Each structure stands twice: as C-alpha cells, then as structure tokens.
Structure 1
C-alpha cells in the first residue's frame, strides 16, 4: 500500500509512451495487497491499450500465490529471471 504509488509513477509513463515491453523486477517484493494488485492491473491495461507489454520478473512465492488466487497470473506473465524471458514475447502481451 505504501509503495504502490511509486510503482505506478514509474510504470505508467513507460507504458504510455512505448510499444516495447516493460520488465517489472519484483524480486524485492515480499507482500502484495489489493493496492499493489490494482497498480499491476492498471499497468497491464495501459500496456494493452498502447501495444506495450508488461512482464513480471522474480515474484516471490507469496506474490505468485496472490496473483494465482486472483487469476491475475493468467494475464500478467512472470519469469524467474530476466534471462528466462523469451526473445519474442507472446502476442497477447
């Protein structure tokens, strides 16, 4: 809740001006509440609107669990590390 606005401040401008993918490193995130989830969903929607992509990198087990519980993992794809992200990201990003 306390850091979601900072994430929004960084992600939204990147996704609004770029048709490239943004990689969000979540390796340091130990807890994801509804505020953080809303931030990620809003970023995903912006990315879809502009043709950009959003990929989550190294989410913790707790974060992955929250994404799975809400079904968000079905639209926000994650990878264990940057080098695990495929060269050609899927079209539905």
Structure 2
C-alpha cells in the first residue's frame, strides 16, 4: 500500500494504491486521522489505484466518516472501477459516502 495526499485549505485529497487490507488498515487509519487532526474537513479518498480492499478498510473509512460528520465535515470517495464499487453497493455504503467516478468529477 502507498498513500499520498494533497491539501488545499480544509480540503484534502488522499490517493491510495495497492492492497488495502487487515495488514495495511492501521497505517491507513493513522494517515487519515492525521489529516483530519491537521484541519481537513473535506476528505476525498481516491481509490482508483486500489486493487483490493477488505472489510477492515471499510471500517477505517466508516470511522473517519463518523469523525468528520460529527464535526460537520465529509468524506467522499473516488471509485472508477465496477469491482470495487460493487463492494460499496452490496454493503449499502454507497448511500453513506458520496462516490465519484473520477477525481475530476469529485472536484466539481
């Protein structure tokens, strides 16, 4: 897993790549919470280059969503691939997160 980010004011775009699973979830959680601690209230997580994610990763995204929602913030996701999008649809998380098909769409 690799994670990078760009921050503009209170908006952060986090780009993850590789596999997001039980082994990488703690690192991802720490990374996302650090960005929130530093003042981001809008967090866009780009999953375009993620080959696999598991339920532990879903838990990380939900925990960050809850934390930001309590403070009036939002987590949005970029998921261009049907295979990952299906996971969010099956679990009902497509109704929790705003999901964009590209970073360009998320920027609008």
Runs of 4+ in 1 over 4 A off after TM superposition: none
Task: Specify which structure has the higher proportion of helix.
Answer: 1
Q: Is the 8 A contact 2:79 2:85 kept in 1?
A: no
Flag the structure with more relative contact order, 1 or 2, with Cα contacts below 8 A and sequence separation at least 6: 1
Residue equivalent to 1:68: 89
Q: TM-score, normalised by structure 2?
A: 0.70
The alignment's C-alpha RMSD in Å is 1.8
Task: Specify which structure has the higher proportion of strand.
Answer: 2
Whole-angstrom distance in 2 between the partners of 1:7 and 1:29: 13
Whole-angstrom distance in 1 between the partners of 2:68 and 2:38: 10
Q: Where do 5+ consecutive residues of structure 2 fail to align?
A: 1-21
Q: Where do 5+ consecutive residues of structure 1 fail to align?
A: 88-93
How many residues are treated as equivalent by the alignment? 87
Whole-angstrom distance in 2 between the partners of 1:19 and 1:50: 11
Q: TM-score, normalised by structure 1?
A: 0.79
Q: Is the 8 A contact 2:77 2:97 kept in 1?
A: yes
